[in-house]
Copies of this chain bind each other. A is one copy, B any other.
């Protein structure tokens, strides 16, 4: 995505300054908003959403995750790396296998809250 250019302030005039100021003041920091979007983008992909759900039920090796999702081992491994980088999952090695499990208290609540939304 292209980076925001210096905005043309003249074009963006405020209609209701009081409201605008109030909302701007209440708005969470750019840092928080960014982290928020980052978390949500994890669940914005069906494959990752399924992985999160699966791991909320069971500790699983990569092979079995791929089997559950119906995706390739490689694709799953790439997704797991993203989840690892975000510290959402942890893993342990056992023989040739690597077992993954959830490593985040909140992500599952987010999942369930979302599911409520979907099911109205």
Mark A residues whose CB is within 8 Å of B.
Answer: 4, 7-8, 11-16, 19-20, 22-24, 26-28, 30, 32-37, 39-46, 49-50, 53-54, 57-58, 60-61, 63-64, 66-68, 70-73, 97, 104, 106-107, 109-111, 113-119
Contacts and interface: CB of A to CB of B under 8 A. Distances in A.
A46 B114 CA distance: 18
Contact of A20 (B8, B67, B114): B67
Given A40-B41, A43-B36, A106-B113, A71 B15 contact: no
Q: Quick one: copies of this chain in the complex?
A: 2
Tell me what chain A mostly uses at the interface: helix, strand, loop, or mixed.
helix
A43 B49 contact: no
Given A41-B40, A49-B37, A50-B27, A13 B67 contact: yes
B7 A114 contact: no
Contacts of A57: 22-23, 26
Nearest to A57: B23
Question: In this complex, which of A54, A64, A66 has the most chain B Cβ atoms within 10 angstroms of its Cβ?
Answer: A64
